[in-house]
């Protein structure tokens, strides 16, 4: 039985459509020049930094193997954006870097997951040698802080009890001298089991824990869309900013910092990652009030924000692969590009976390755009343009809300998955080509179902 002319013509159209959708990827692959790939370099520097800036770069690891073109590293950057040194660690080809904190002795405390474990070590920045290291049976630990003389404060996420079907996510204090956990706090004891849709292997995704004094800890359960303060003695939650799925307040935040204004007002500075902004909240008359917001039209998955003594804020703009220092009104005065996926940045002279005034004390409350960036295309990343284009295309249509959410989510995932020579649009069109191919194949199988069934029957009748 011959195939009709219409079917042949349709196949030709589908073939040409697939070729057209794949063409941008082919052009990018043929024209890609690795020497032009932005890796580590300064952007805008109109105001030199006060000393060294330390940046931890997460890198990209999939199925236990690090992509050498998307390396994990710790980077030391000078006042005017000069690279002082970089520390790479590809033990077993699977090291990531998350929290990297200056210690009082001048060394660095680094959290580095690999496989299903996390290695915590003290790094001498002069020799780039490890002073000591400790391996924990904890997966993907983002934050470990020095706590007293010989203890570590650890945010233990993804602690899944498979046999019980329960999350054991917790905060622990570990004593290095006695090799014992001396204090622990479980999220399951303080949050309903249906939080974030119910227990799962990455239930709380607690990405930060800070000791804020007076026996209290500031925690960031990212997937719960809130930052909480826990009293270590009573183990009760004594402060809470945000609620589960209330994305107007916080949306999958990272690294909240606790500040206190001159008049004693409790304040939180937060990298509001899912909303692509940095926000500050002050507790006034018993309610948390947003006093500052910056970057919602520019940042892409920011994961750290520290207030500096000069009133500026050091921001890690992860999926734009950069660290920026901005004024209270959003002007970039210092900028450094560090691919792939910077996570944490500290101005070493000021120690770990925020050390500056609140926005209220600076009389700068408001919502601001970010201006003054060099706008380099670090890592071949054009994901901000991708999101903006999709959102503008579907604005005012019934698909506006779902497509906006989908494009934002894709912008957070695609930079890790796509090859370095591809732009987000190249990958988008390639995915569309695969979709067209699968749809066409499904249509062909549907139209041929009768002949396929006859062939199967023939096999059984022989």
Task: Give yes or no: residues 346 and 417 share one domain.
Answer: no
202 and 308 co-located in one domain: yes
> What CA–CA distance (Å, rounded) separates 446 from 140?
45
Report pLDDT for 384: 41
Residue where one domain finishes, among candidates 337, 368, 399 = 368
In a domain, 226, yes or no: yes
Total domains, the chain: 2
Cβ(304)–Cβ(345) below 8 Å? yes
Residue 376 lies in a domain: no
Q: Write the CA distances from 344 to 100, 314, 439, integer angstroms.
A: 7, 10, 43
CATH number at residue 363: 2.130.10.10
Chain mean pLDDT for the chain: 88
Write the CB contacts of 405 (distance below 8 Å, at least 6 apart in sequence). none
Q: Estimate to the nearest angstrom the gap between the alpha carbon of 259 and the chain centroid.
A: 23
Q: Which of 312, 333, 368 is the last residue of a domain?
A: 368
23: in domain = yes
* Rounded Cα distance, 301 and 254, in Å: 9
Residues 334 and 427 in one domain: no
Asked if 388 and 410 count as a contact pair (C-beta separation under 8 A), the reply is no
Calpha distance 317→300 (Å, rounded): 6
Here the tokens at position 183 are 């204090």
Q: Are 124 and 131 in contact (CB under 8 A)?
A: yes
Omega before residue 130 within 30° of 0, cis? no
- Identify the domain boundary among 368, 391, 420: 368
Q: What is the pLDDT of residues 91-135, one digit of tens each?
A: 555 788 999 999 999 999 999 998 889 999 999 999 999 999 999
The continuous run of DSSP H or E covering 414 comes out as helix 400-417
Residue 177 pLDDT level (bands cut at 50, 70, 90): very high
Residues 203 and 183: their CA atoms lie apart, in Å, by 21
Examine residue 375 and state whether it is found in any structural domain, yes or no: no
Domain-embedded: residue 207: yes
Distance of CA 130 to the CA centre of its chain: 26
Which one, of 202, 251, 252, 259, lies nearest residue 229 by Cα? 259
> Is residue 394 domain-shared with residue 354, that is, in the same domain?
no
- Residue position matching structure tokens 């699968």: 438
Q: Are residues 433 and 297 in the same domain?
A: no
Give the pLDDT confidence of 340-398 residue by residue, as tens digits.
899 999 999 998 889 999 999 999 999 999 999 998 877 654 444 556 556 556 666 77
* Residue 318, domain member (yes or no): yes
Within-domain flag for 9: yes
Residue 336 vs residue 20, higher pLDDT: 336
- Judge if 90 and 19 occupy the same domain: no
Question: What is the model's pLDDT at position 1?
Answer: 45
Return the residue matching tokens 């194949």: 441
Query: What's the whole-model pTM score?
Result: 0.82
CA angle centred on 72, ends 68 and 78, rounded to 5°: 120
Q: Which of 303, 275, 301 is nearest to 290 (CA)?
A: 275
- The values of phi and psi at residue 409, to 5°, are -65, -45
pLDDT value at residue 411 = 66
Say yes or no: 83 and 170 in one domain.
Answer: yes
Helix, strand and coil percent figures for the chain, each rounded to 5: 25, 35, 40
Answer yes or no: do 363 and 388 share one domain.
Answer: no
Residue 428, domain extent: 5-33+383-461
Please tell me whether residues 66 and 13 are part of one structural domain: no
With beta carbons less than 8 A apart as the criterion, state whether 245 and 222 touch: no
**Percentage of the chain exceeding pLDDT 90:** 65
Asked whether residue 80 is domain-assigned, the answer is yes
3-class secondary-structure state, position 435: helix
Residue predicted with more confidence, 152 or 418: 152
Asked if residue 139 has pLDDT above 50, the reply is yes
CA distance linking residue 287 with residue 283, whole number of Å: 5
Same domain as 212, residue 298 = yes
- What number is the average pLDDT over the span 171-187? 97
83 and 120 part of one domain = yes
Q: For residues 154 and 29, state if they share a domain.
A: no
pLDDT band per the 50, 70, 90 thresholds, residue 2:
low
User: With contact defined as beta carbons under 8 Å apart, do 285 and 258 qualify?
Assistant: no
Dihedral, 276, 279, 253, 112 alpha carbons, nearest 10: 90
């Amino acid at each position: 039985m011959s195939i009709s002319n219409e079917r042949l013509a349709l196949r030709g159209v589908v073939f040409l459509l697939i070729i057209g959708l794949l063409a941008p990827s082919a052009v990018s692959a043929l024209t890609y020049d690795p020497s032009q790939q932005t890796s580590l370099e300064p952007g805008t520097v109109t105001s030199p930094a006060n000393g060294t800036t330390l940046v931890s770069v997460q890198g990209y690891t999939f199925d236990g193997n690090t992509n050498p073109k998307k390396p994990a590293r710790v980077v030391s950057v000078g006042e005017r954006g000069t690279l002082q040194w970089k520390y790479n660690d590809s033990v077993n080809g699977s090291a990531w870097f998350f929290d990297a904190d200056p210690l009082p002795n001048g060394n660095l405390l680094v959290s580095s997951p690999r496989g299903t474990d996390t290695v915590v070590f003290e790094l001498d920045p002069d020799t780039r040698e490890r002073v000591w290291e400790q391996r924990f049976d904890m997966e993907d630990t983002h934050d470990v802080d020095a706590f007293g003389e010989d203890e570590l404060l650890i945010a233990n996420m993804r602690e899944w009890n498979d046999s019980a079907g329960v999350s054991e996510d917790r905060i622990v204090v570990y004593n290095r001298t006695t090799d014992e956990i001396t204090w622990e706090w479980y999220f399951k004891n303080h949050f309903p089991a249906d939080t974030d849709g119910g227990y799962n292997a990455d239930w709380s995704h607690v990405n930060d824990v800070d000791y804020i004094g007076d026996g209290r800890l500031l925690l960031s359960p990212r997937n719960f869309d809130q930052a909480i303060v826990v009293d270590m003695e009573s183990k009760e939650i004594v402060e809470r900013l945000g609620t589960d799925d209330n994305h107007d307040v916080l949306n999958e935040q990272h690294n909240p910092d606790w500040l206190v204004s001159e008049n004693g007002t409790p304040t939180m500075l937060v990298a509001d990652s899912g909303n692509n902004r940095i926000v500050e909240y002050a507790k006034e008359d018993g309610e948390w009030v947003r006093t500052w917001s910056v970057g919602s039209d520019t940042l892409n998955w920011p994961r750290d924000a520290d207030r500096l003594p000069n009133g500026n804020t050091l921001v890690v703009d992860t999926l734009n692969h950069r660290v920026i220092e901005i004024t209270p009104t959003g002007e970039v005065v210092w900028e450094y590009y560090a691919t792939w996926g910077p996570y944490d940045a500290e101005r070493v002279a000021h120690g770990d976390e925020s050390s500056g005034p609140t926005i209220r004390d600076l009389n700068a409350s408001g919502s601001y755009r970010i201006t003054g960036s060099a706008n380099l295309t670090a890592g071949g990343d054009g994901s901000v343009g991708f999101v903006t284009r999709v959102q503008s295309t579907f604005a005012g249509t019934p698909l506006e809300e779902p497509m906006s959410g989908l494009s934002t989510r894709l912008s957070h995932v695609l930079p890790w998955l796509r090859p370095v020579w591809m732009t987000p649009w190249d990958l988008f069109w390639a995915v569309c080509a695969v979709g067209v191919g699968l749809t066409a194949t499904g249509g062909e199988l549907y139209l041929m179902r009768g002949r396929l069934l006859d062939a199967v029957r023939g096999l059984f009748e022989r």
